[in-house]
Every structure is written in C-alpha cells, then in structure tokens.
Amino acid sequence: MQVNFTGLKNTAYLSMQNPETNEGMYVLNTQLTDDKDGADLTKYKEFLNRINKNSNSSYRNNFNPNFVNFLIHTSDMGIDDITGKRKTLCNLYLNGKLFELKDERIPIFEFLAHLASKITAKPNNEFIVNKDYIEGEDCQNGILPFGNIKYMVEMNPNLNMSYEEFMQEIHSPKRVKDGAQEINEFFYNVMLDYFA
C-alpha cells in the first residue's frame, strides 16, 4: 500500500478535439484527501456545501464525493465582426454541471485553480493510481460525466489501444501535469475576464 502525502491521488487528464466542429473537451479528474500537508478534501466539501445552498443544482460528484471533476468545453464561434479575431466560447463544468463564475463562487474557483497548480508542481514519483480505482465505477463512470469511459475506449475502432493502456496514458504524470497547466491557464483567463 502506498501512502499519499499530497492530498491528491487517482488523477487523470483527458483532452478530445473534433476538427470538423472545432470543439474541444478537456477533463481533469482527481481524488482529494486530507493529509499532513493540508485538508484539500475538507476545504472542497466546505466550498460545495456553501455553493449548493445558493444554487438550484448540486455540484457534488455523483460517483464519489471525494473526487472533483472539471471539464472545459470549447466551441469555435467564428470571427468577431469588431476585432476580426477568432472567438471561442468556453464553458466550465464542475462534476458534470455547468459552473459559471459569480462573486460568491470566487473562493471555490480560486481553490480549483490552486488545485491545478498543485498538480502541475507535484513530483512525478508522488502520482498514485490505485488499481481498484481503474477497474471501479469511480474511474469508469466518473472521468466523463456523460458516459462510461471503458465502454467508449473499447468501442472506439480508431483508438488502437486497450482500456488499460488508455488508462496508463491519461493517468501518466507528464500528461496530467501538462493538462493541469492548461486548465490553470483557463482559470487565469476566466478570472481576468471576470474582473475586467
């Protein structure tokens, strides 16, 4: 048994682009824990309790309350008539539900950005992926909020890899760290736009 000293484990990053529609989807999924270095899980649950009180929908993770899943969906909106630059619509989903930035949600947004930074800075040897997680519901149904990832991998004739190989790839420290950096840049840009 490995001991997790960083408050995070079973972290995955997945990105998919559709070149025909210029849409993209970027997913960061991780299990939070409380440990000697901090109380990530406790903080996360406190934030969720606060925003769930002021919202019509629950932002809790339906598969495991100790996981946080953020998905960014991008859509090409064409060329802006005024600036002449390409416009992209970006939406953030927290645990499968659209999550818009509002004043009362700034603390959890900052927490999520901090979490992405923490993942980016994490040493490769501290990434832990439990075997029972890979074969369990938390992974198979939790990474993609809209479907079973194992089924999608097994039914994709263009993938050319097994489910186990795909899981190794999306949980690899380099991929996860690079993806967390992309997610963090998204958070940074959203916050800049919000306060502009």
Task: State which amino acid sits at residue 47.
Answer: F
Per-residue pLDDT at 1: 34
Nearest to 13 by CA among 72, 76, 61, 62: 72
Per-residue pLDDT at 6: 56
Token pair 């019509």 is found at 56
Residue 68, strand partner residues? 30
Q: How many CB atoms lie within 10 A of CB 99?
A: 21
Measure the CA–CA gap between 87 and 39, rounded to whole angstroms.
Answer: 38
Per-residue pLDDT at 158: 83
Please say whether the beta carbons of 6 and 118 come within 8 A: yes
Per-residue pLDDT of the chain (196 residues; tens, 9 = 90+): 344 445 789 999 999 887 777 788 999 999 998 887 778 899 899 888 888 776 666 888 888 889 999 999 888 777 778 887 777 778 899 999 998 888 888 888 888 899 999 999 999 999 999 989 988 888 998 898 888 899 989 998 888 899 999 999 999 999 999 999 999 988 888 888 888 7
Measure the CA–CA gap between 45 and 49, rounded to whole angstroms.
Answer: 6
Q: How far is CA 132 from CA 76, 137, 143, 168, 189, in A?
A: 38, 9, 15, 14, 36
Per-residue pLDDT at 129: 93
Per-residue pLDDT at 47: 87
